[in-house]
Amino acid sequence: MASINWNVTIPVKGASKVLLNAGGVTKITCTKRGIYKLLARGGNGGGTSMSSEQEGSVVKPGISSSGGVGGTTIVYKVMNVGDVIYYVGGGNAGHTYYTNDRHEEGAAGWNGGGNGKNFGNVNRGASGGASYFMIGTPWDIREIYNNKSLTNVLGIAGGGGGGKGGLGSNNHSASSYTSGYGGAGGGNPSGGGGRALRRINDLDYGEITELPGDTQSDGFSWETMWGNASTWGGCGGAGYICGTSSDNFGGNGGVGWINPSFATVTHKNKKWVGSTLKGGTEAAGIYWEKTWISPLIYYGDAEVDSVYYGNKELDTIYYGNREIG
């Protein structure tokens, strides 16, 4: 069981959401029955920084890079008063430095990311961890591997891939140097995670060519959920399937996934459908609108789904001053 770092309750009066932290586990307790939007964001991949070096009259340019952003996975869930779910928030990767005043290898994003590495003339960016909501016992990605089960995982958001940096060749000939941007986490198993870029800079002409990275991901297996790395390329992000890594590129983003058992929610002929996105802008959190479900009220042995006052359906019912739904 993964350690619980934070506790929150939902919903919060006067607010439309509760934002959730990266890099640990949040326990979430429901205090009002409703349909909730659960948004997971994978950890961001780490970039790299490299100082230029001079050998005689030759200046070898230092090439920096950026990591990919974490992916987004959204699921919807009916929650009743007292229900508990957990958010396992993948961590953001650290930045890798090989500069005149700083030598530091970026730390892997918690929950499956890969570590950065300096090799002198090349540096490899770290990758972001995977994020997901769970019911039951919260597991980190290694515990999922140990138990070989995704039954209680609602959906996975892939981590961003790490960048790749290094030294250019020289400042006179038309030779080129390469670096790589990490790919965004997310996507889905059929389409793969976000693809990294290889950046080719022509020193004489100032041209920059960007080429897509290699295969974004392999097929699913329990052994390929956490980020991997080639010798020189940026680390691939963690996810349902980790992003791949190759020597001349940044790492690809980890692949997102939605558990088919939690793919849709239907209530009163309205359907909410989950989704996975490469990257994204919304923060990890639990969001709600006017999607409350009437409180559990019975007429005899039958549960009453809706309560009306005249022609108006009631979202909230009070017994005296006490809200009961």
Q: Which two tokens stand for residue 154?
A: 């609602």
pLDDT value for 219 = 75
Percent of the chain whose pLDDT exceeds 70: 73
Span of 53-62, 71-80, 277-286 with lowest mean pLDDT = 53-62
pLDDT value for 100 = 86
pLDDT surpasses 60 at 325: no
Averaging pLDDT over each range in 94-103, 128-137, 165-174, which range is the top one?
128-137
Minimal CA–CA distance to 89: which of 22, 149, 142?
A: 22
Q: Which residue has the higher pLDDT, 251 or 105?
A: 105
pLDDT surpasses 50 at 111: yes
Around Cβ 5, how many Cβ atoms within 10 Å? 12
Structure confidence at residue 43 as a pLDDT band (50, 70, 90): very high
pTM of full prediction above 0.75: yes
Around Cβ 94, how many Cβ atoms within 10 Å? 21
Please state, rounded to an integer, the average pLDDT across all residues of the chain: 82
pLDDT value for 164 = 84
Cis peptide before 295 (omega within 30 of 0): no
pLDDT value for 172 = 39
Integer Rg of the chain from CA: 23
Upper half-sphere CA count for residue 139 (Cβ side, 13 Å): 18
Largest CA distance in the chain: 91
Rounded to an integer, the average pLDDT of 9-21 is 91
Structure confidence at residue 17 as a pLDDT band (50, 70, 90): very high
pLDDT value for 116 = 92
Structure confidence at residue 108 as a pLDDT band (50, 70, 90): very high
**In sequence order, which residues have a C-beta less than 8 Å from that of residue 254 and are 6 or more positions away?**
42, 71, 112, 127, 128, 130, 158, 159, 160, 161, 185, 186, 193, 217, 227, 236, 237, 238, 239, 240, 241, 242, 243
pLDDT value for 186 = 66
Span of 54-63, 82-91, 234-243 with lowest mean pLDDT = 54-63
Q: Which residue has the higher pLDDT, 14 or 146?
A: 146
Minimal CA–CA distance to 95: which of 87, 104, 86, 83?
A: 104
Query: What pLDDT, in 10s, does the model give residues 213-263?
Result: 555 556 788 888 887 777 777 888 899 988 887 777 778 888 899 999 999
Rounded to an integer, the average pLDDT of 285-296 is 74
pLDDT value for 176 = 46
Rounded to an integer, the average pLDDT of 117-132 is 90
